[in-house]
Chain A
Amino acid sequence: MGSAEQDEYAAFKEKVRRTVFMDSLSPIVTESVVRTALDQYGTVKSVEFIPNYLEPRNMARCALVEMEKEKQAEVVISTISELPFMMSGMPRPVRACAAVPEMFADRPRKPGRQLHVHWLDPSDPNFEVANKLKQLVKKHATENAVMLKHQLEKEEKLAKQQGETLKANYKKYEMIDSLMADGIVRRLAGRYTLRISDDSGPSTFH
């Protein structure tokens, strides 16, 4: 015990304040990508990905990015929250929020904390209650899991929807493009005595 621990803990707490928790990262994002992306906001001291042991593997990754100063962390969080910031792919934006100590797996312990445990035997009258509690907790865990599943499903749905819209839009543009390129448009215009300018970009087509 003593001041060494407390110093460590204080330093850790300070680090937490400077750290940004980023969510919704694609699995192909690497540390250097994150670094370059966030470099515009300040110095990135370290990037740690939170390993994902328990969830399906193609789920969004999370990372803890430690910035040099607390202010920089705040700026990062506020910009990312306001405008969609996309990394290594579109259009799913990443999310950022302030980090909390529980996000760090290897955190130092709080100095001066005492842990207490005790066993309850089945003969103990509180045993039943404790059992009920256990069941409640298990239920919560399942509820959490179900909720997560729902969320993933919704994300997929949105992605699919957007994908389709995008494809449709792109097809339209392609079609227009090819029409312009083929010269059909020009001939039609001649037929109807309309004037068109000669850039064959889709943006000029009204």
Chain B
Amino acid sequence: MSHVREKSPEEKNLGFKWGTEKGPGVKNRGIMFYESFFLKGEEYFVYDCVYFYRGQPEASIGKLVKLFEGPNHVKKVKVVWFMRPSEIRNFLGDYEPRWNEIFLASGQGPGVSNINLVELIGGKCNVVCTSNDNRNPQASSDDFRCAEYFFCRHFDVGELAILDNFPDMVDGVKVENFFNKNKEPKKLGPSNLKSNGDGQTRRPNLSSKLKVTKTNGNTEIDDNSDSRISALGKESKVAPVSPSKQLHRPSENIPTRPKTYISNSGTQHSGSSQSQAQAEIDKAEVKFPRDSPTSAAEGTPYKKRKFFVDERTSSKVHNLDGQLGQDGGSNIDNQLVQVSRIPNDDRRNWFEKLPWEQRLKRAQEVGTLISLENVDPSFTSEEVEELVWHALKERVEAKMVEHTAFSCPCYGKALVIFKSKEAATSAINQLMERCLMLADGRPVIARREPPRTPAKVAGFVGHLTIDKVLQRQTEEMPNNIEFDMGMEWRILQLKSDVAWKALHEVLSMPILTSFLFLLRLHLVLEFAYNIVVLSCFMNSCRLSQQRQAKEIEAVRNQLKMRWLPFAVGGVGVQKAAE
């Protein structure tokens, strides 16, 4: 018997639609149960974990155990809750939960489950069970990393205690449904790619290809990627990219997991996270299931960016090979020009050279001094000279600016002196109009170096003098005022170290993970920067070093906690840009 419903007007606004039917209820034939439903473009299945907004500042997390609709078109879900540590803090006792740990509610009593309207659902939540219960398929470390929350214990509302061993049933539902789902290998559908039109094919191609570069060698996906690469090669109308045959993960230089890859939802469901690729999509969709108006605008740059990142990753792989001492010899992008030694190099050393500082000053006055920024920090001065010679056909003198305590570790800078002012100007113009890309995808920036501001004659900051007191150099032992003051300076130095490190981490993330969502990243950077600066400005003079360590930890945690949602948020808006 088919179940016919009229569509109520609100459904069209929310994008709600029931999925597969399960059957009418046993007790009450007016109620129809379902396996899944669509809400705002996402499909939610039974036993999915979702966020609920119930008026509290933090969303509640629950697992959908029943989806049904009553006779009066009221759509409801039955939810078994997960408790956050803050909700059960009175009963935690000695247990110290981790920051993303939650507890399954169990037992008999109020608070275990609820029936709610579907409208309160905020989005999907990736929860992983790490319990060692033998009914629980163990989560892989990838799953764990992608999960937003995990649980390994349950909170019994009757006994008001946190327990380890899971009962057989939780509120009438078999406990296996709460554990991790069994993993079925879900292929990233090669059929998807070839069947769609030209323009659209590219995106799923690339997104999965990129996922390949991220995942830790899921062999199925690797096979698919090879076929896709050839498809790509034929279809691409943009710059003739001959992608490399081996796509490894560009691992070594990327300390942080590249969280910000755009995902293509397409027809991929996020029922359970199978591969890491899937999990990334889940994450993206969880946070922003609503289509954002900007996603259309991002569509085209998105496309371009994908290709670019492609090129970058493929060439980066080869750069890595080179750096490891063996150049694979495999053919790289034919646009890349290999930089070799300058012929007739020795001629430079024939003439006596003025010391570098004087040359620098003179060059500054004449206008032949350029600073090249965003070079690889591991370049040497000679390499920079060769670079310029090959790229701009100019002989120059270059010096890499040394790293100091406050230079960003992923940027290098070089000072280059040209032979003439015109050469310098033309170099700047060329570098501005066209982009000179280094092998790992960095565009080189050239700037005219302004003359240094005249030296302030004031004494060194931080050294105090009293006329009658002798000055001496020594280590200080903790029994006089100099020690205290010295310690204050140490605190300041440590604080600034933390701040620099945090700033550089923040800055290096977008560079290393590269290029996604520059607009959103702008916001992220500002936010993170503000946090860092704020922490810098907490200017109180506490003398114990343990206090400092705690402060450092707090800043780090702050950054970590704020960073995650923003990064994910950045990804999420890009979902299904078509």
Residue of A102, A125, A151 contacting most chain B CB atoms (<10 Å): A102
Contact of B471 among A88, A92, A156, A167 (CB under 8 A): A88
Interfacial chain A residues near B510, Cβ < 8 Å: 136
Interfacial chain A residues near B439, Cβ < 8 Å: 115-117
Chain B residue at smallest Cβ distance from A81: B490
Contact of B466 among A57, A87, A121, A170 (CB under 8 A): A170
Chain A residue at smallest Cβ distance from B465: A89
Contact of B338 among A53, A115, A121 (CB under 8 A): A115
The binding surface of chain B is classed by DSSP as: mixed
Q: How far is the CA of A138 from the CA of B457 in the complex (A)?
A: 30
Docked-complex contact B337 and A118, CB < 8 angstroms: yes
- Selecting from A26-34, A179-187, A191-199, the interface stretch reads A26-34
Measured as residues with beta carbon below 8 angstroms from the partner, the interface class of chain B is: 35 or more
Docked-complex contact A86 and B474, CB < 8 angstroms: yes
Docked-complex contact B403 and A103, CB < 8 angstroms: yes
A83-123 at interface with B (beta carbon < 8 Å): 83-93, 95, 97, 100-122
Q: 5 closest Cβ contacts across the A-B interface?
A: A84-B486, A92-B462, A89-B463, A57-B455, A91-B485
Contact of B496 among A112, A136, A151 (CB under 8 A): A151
Q: How far is the CA of A43 from the CA of B403 in the complex (A)?
A: 25
Docked-complex contact B443 and A134, CB < 8 angstroms: yes
Interfacial chain B residues near A24, Cβ < 8 Å: 462, 493
- Selecting from B79-87, B211-219, B385-393, the interface stretch reads B385-393
Docked-complex contact B336 and A102, CB < 8 angstroms: no
A46-88 at interface with B (beta carbon < 8 Å): 50-51, 53-54, 56-58, 60, 62, 79, 83-88
Q: How far is the CA of A138 from the CA of B332 in the complex (A)?
A: 29
Whether, in the assembled complex, A129 has its beta carbon less than 8 Å from a beta carbon of chain B, the answer is yes
B446-484 at interface with A (beta carbon < 8 Å): 449, 452-453, 455-466, 471, 473-477, 481-483
Residue of A24, A118, A141 contacting most chain B CB atoms (<10 Å): A118
Chain A residue at smallest Cβ distance from B492: A158
A58-B458 contact in complex given A119-B435, A130-B435, C-beta closer than 8 Å:
yes
> 25 A-B contacts, Cβ less than 8 Å apart?
A24-B493, A53-B360, A54-B449, A54-B452, A60-B461, A84-B490, A91-B463, A91-B464, A95-B493, A102-B377, A102-B402, A102-B412, A116-B338, A116-B339, A117-B337, A118-B333, A118-B337, A137-B411, A141-B411, A144-B406, A144-B408, A144-B507, A147-B499, A148-B406, A158-B488
Whether, in the assembled complex, B415 has its beta carbon less than 8 Å from a beta carbon of chain A, the answer is yes
Give per-residue flags for B206-227: 1 if the beta carbon is below 8 A from chain A beta carbons, else 0: 0000000000000000000000
Interfacial chain A residues near B489, Cβ < 8 Å: 84, 91-93, 158
Q: How far is the CA of A109 from the CA of B510 in the complex (A)?
A: 27
Whether, in the assembled complex, A205 has its beta carbon less than 8 Å from a beta carbon of chain B, the answer is no
Give per-residue flags for B427-449: 1 if the beta carbon is below 8 A from chain A beta carbons, else 0: 00000011111110111010001
Whether, in the assembled complex, B533 has its beta carbon less than 8 Å from a beta carbon of chain A, the answer is yes
- Chain B min CB distance to A88 (Å): 6
Q: How far is the CA of A118 from the CA of B314 in the complex (A)?
A: 14
Whether, in the assembled complex, A45 has its beta carbon less than 8 Å from a beta carbon of chain B, the answer is no
Docked-complex contact A84 and B483, CB < 8 angstroms: yes
Interfacial chain B residues near A114, Cβ < 8 Å: 319, 322, 327, 338-339
The binding surface of chain A is classed by DSSP as: mixed
Query: How many residues from A make CB contacts under 8 Å with B?
Result: 90
Whether, in the assembled complex, B94 has its beta carbon less than 8 Å from a beta carbon of chain A, the answer is no
Q: How far is the CA of A162 from the CA of B496 in the complex (A)?
A: 18
Q: How far is the CA of A147 from the CA of B399 in the complex (A)?
A: 24
Whether, in the assembled complex, B57 has its beta carbon less than 8 Å from a beta carbon of chain A, the answer is no
- Chain A min CB distance to B318 (Å): 8
Whether, in the assembled complex, A155 has its beta carbon less than 8 Å from a beta carbon of chain B, the answer is yes
B82-106 at interface with A (beta carbon < 8 Å): none
Q: How far is the CA of A42 from the CA of B558 in the complex (A)?
A: 42
Whether, in the assembled complex, A159 has its beta carbon less than 8 Å from a beta carbon of chain B, the answer is yes
A117-B391 contact in complex given A92-B463, A129-B308, A136-B518, C-beta closer than 8 Å:
yes
Contact of B404 among A23, A106, A125, A157 (CB under 8 A): A23
Docked-complex contact A137 and B337, CB < 8 angstroms: no
Docked-complex contact B464 and A163, CB < 8 angstroms: yes
Contact of A116 among B406, B438, B457, B462 (CB under 8 A): B438
Docked-complex contact A138 and B378, CB < 8 angstroms: no
Residues on A facing B (Cβ under 8 Å): 21, 23-24, 26-28, 33, 37, 50-51, 53-54, 56-58, 60, 62, 79, 83-93, 95, 97, 100-122, 124-134, 136-141, 143-144, 147-148, 150-152, 154-159, 162-163, 166-167, 169-170
Give per-residue flags for B397-432: 1 if the beta carbon is below 8 A from chain A beta carbons, else 0: 001111111111101100100000000000000000
- Chain A min CB distance to B522 (Å): 8
Q: How far is the CA of A136 from the CA of B507 in the complex (A)?
A: 9
Chain A residue at smallest Cβ distance from B430: A119
A28-B460 contact in complex given A112-B322, A166-B466, C-beta closer than 8 Å:
yes
Docked-complex contact A126 and B307, CB < 8 angstroms: yes
- Chain A min CB distance to B202 (Å): 12
Q: How far is the CA of A1 from the CA of B424 in the complex (A)?
A: 31
Docked-complex contact A138 and B445, CB < 8 angstroms: yes
Q: How far is the CA of A169 from the CA of B482 in the complex (A)?
A: 12
- Chain A min CB distance to B135 (Å): 48
Whether, in the assembled complex, B311 has its beta carbon less than 8 Å from a beta carbon of chain A, the answer is yes
A83-B475 contact in complex given A62-B404, A127-B435, C-beta closer than 8 Å:
yes
Q: How far is the CA of A112 from the CA of B459 in the complex (A)?
A: 47
Add 19 more A-B contacts to A86-B474, A118-B336, A166-B481 (CB < 8 A): A57-B452, A58-B459, A84-B483, A86-B475, A91-B482, A113-B383, A115-B383, A115-B386, A115-B438, A116-B438, A120-B437, A125-B239, A134-B443, A136-B511, A137-B374, A144-B407, A156-B461, A159-B461, A170-B466
Docked-complex contact B437 and A118, CB < 8 angstroms: yes
Whether, in the assembled complex, B305 has its beta carbon less than 8 Å from a beta carbon of chain A, the answer is yes
- Chain B min CB distance to A177 (Å): 11
Give per-residue flags for B313-334: 1 if the beta carbon is below 8 A from chain A beta carbons, else 0: 0010011001101110000110
Whether, in the assembled complex, B515 has its beta carbon less than 8 Å from a beta carbon of chain A, the answer is yes
A125-B238 contact in complex given A119-B435, A120-B435, C-beta closer than 8 Å:
yes
